[in-house]
Structure 1
Amino acid sequence: MPATSVYQAALGPDFPALHPRLHAYFSAIPAGAVGTGSGVFDVVGTPKRWLWPALWVLGLAGVLFPVWQHNVPFTVENRSRGDGAGSRAVTARRRFHLTGGDRFMTDVMRARNGELVDSIGSGGLVRARFSARVVDGGLVLRSTHVAVRLGRLTLPIPARLSPVVVLSEQFDDDADAQRVRVTIDAPGLGRLYEYGGNFTYSVAAPAPVRPSEPKEPDHE
């Protein structure tokens, strides 16, 4: 029986309504395989420089970065985790080729009780719970709860203060590419952070290990 991905678990019977070209991205990644994408973000970060000191701290953990840049090349690598078949968790490692140097953002996505739980950054510094639904053939995630980990403590952010994270994944037939957009907004403050752009994606099994050839015995 094929493994169930975290996205299939969250979407249930709605999963087939995704655009067919998105199925490879959101289906289970076979054990040992790697899903690789590359593209360009139209924009990354925020022009609100008063947020940059806090983003600098988050950047140390690979969550968000104190930048406001356009046309940023990036790559992403997705792997299964847990039972090795993608049914428990999927890890993502994004590499942003920013002016001034490359930066990395990591996260681990799990399915819990019909929702998705994303642990973002080193040690899962930020944890967000998302509702998931299919809209016009694309996946839309919207945060329902956000918490911050401090040591052994997990501190939930009160709903009235909590930022709202929205992730949209669509397939653009005209561009023949997948399009992602992430926005973070806060009550009374508006847009805090965003990134979005197009990329291409494929899943490839690891190259087989070639057995070493036996050495011929030395002859005197």
Structure 2
Amino acid sequence: MPTPRDPEHPLSPYEAALGAAAVARLHPRLRAYVGAIPPGRHGTGHGTYEVAGTRRRWLWPVLGILAREHVLFPAGQRDVPFRIRNEEGPAGRRARREFDFLSGPRTMVDEVRFIDGRLVDDIGTHRRFRAELVARVDDGALVLTSIRMLVRVGGHHIPLPRRWSPRILLVERFVDAEDRQRVELVLDAPVIGRLYEYRGTFEYGIVGGEDAG
């Protein structure tokens, strides 16, 4: 059950969507990742994606357009170094992911918010794309599944028809044997199948002030 916000003890969007009981079932190392980041601090991580992008080159012209918005990229590669930075904004959790592809660096940006009882992810520099998400905990991992994709036109978000709308599945888990966090994201579409993916491991921590240097 979603948890209401307390102005004196602000929750992250994920905590608000999951509720206290589900947050307690997360792996202890994931709670810092999911929890609210204190003012003046930020979350930072670095690692390697075992695979990132797509090998379907016929998609690359469309992905080239999306790359201008810092959404997805016309690339497909193994062993891609990456960095991530998370911080709490006025409305939600902002994330910046930097991919070091052989073809050049690429950046993905998004902001996750909890709005009117819904977890939403506004994707891209101008937030033209939105995913409505359902959050759950599965064996200590955070699992996010999209239930609707929308495109912003003017001041309105227009839902994409479900019969051809892409679907996102994101899993964040902590692997004790590797002492690292593992992330797996897949973007699939009906009929077409896999459109995009990235998966890999990284180290993550909350830093700020003197720690940031």
User: Separation in 1 of the partners of 2:208 and 2:9?
Assistant: 16
Aligned with 2:102 (options 99, 103, 119): 99
Partner in structure 2 of residue 38 of structure 1: 46
Aligned with 1:11 (options 10, 15, 18): 18
Partner in structure 2 of residue 28 of structure 1: 36
Aligned with 1:196 (options 182, 194, 199): 199
User: Separation in 2 of the partners of 1:151 and 1:100?
Assistant: 33
Query: Deviation of residue 30 (structure 1)?
Result: 0.4
List alignment gaps of at least 5 residues for structure 1.
Answer: 83-87, 209-220
Kept after mapping to 2: 8 A contact 1:142/1:167:
yes
Kept after mapping to 2: 8 A contact 1:34/1:206:
no
Task: After superposition, give the CA deviation of every residue in 1:44-78 in whole Å (9 maximum; x if it has no partner).
Answer: 11111111111000001000001111100000000
Partner in structure 2 of residue 67 of structure 1: 75
Query: Deviation of residue 114 (structure 1)?
Result: 4.0
Query: Deviation of residue 150 (structure 1)?
Result: 3.6
Partner in structure 2 of residue 110 of structure 1: 113
Query: Deviation of residue 203 (structure 1)?
Result: 0.3
Please, what TM-score do these two structures have when normalized by structure 2?
A: 0.91
Percent pairwise identity: 46
Partner in structure 2 of residue 127 of structure 1: 130
* SS of residue matched to 1:39: strand
User: Separation in 1 of the partners of 2:64 and 2:153?
Assistant: 17
Aligned with 1:174 (options 165, 173, 177): 177
Task: After superposition, give the CA deviation of every residue in 1:6-45 in whole Å (9 maximum; x if it has no partner).
Answer: 1110000211100001011000000111100000001111
Letter matched to residue 207 of structure 1:
E
Aligned with 2:58 (options 45, 50, 53): 50
Letter matched to residue 192 of structure 2:
L
Please identify the structure whose Cα radius of gyration is greater: 1
The structure 1 segments of at least 4 consecutive aligned residues displaced by more than 6 Å after TM superposition are none
User: Separation in 2 of the partners of 1:155 and 1:29?
Assistant: 31
User: Separation in 2 of the partners of 1:162 and 1:100?
Assistant: 29
Q: 1:69 to 1:172 in 2, by over 3 A?
A: same
List alignment gaps of at least 5 residues for structure 2.
Answer: 1-7
User: Separation in 2 of the partners of 1:200 and 1:179?
Assistant: 9
User: Separation in 2 of the partners of 1:191 and 1:114?
Assistant: 30
What is the Cα-based RMSD across aligned positions, in Å?
1.4
Q: 1:41 to 1:129 in 2, by over 3 A?
A: same
User: Separation in 2 of the partners of 1:110 and 1:153?
Assistant: 17
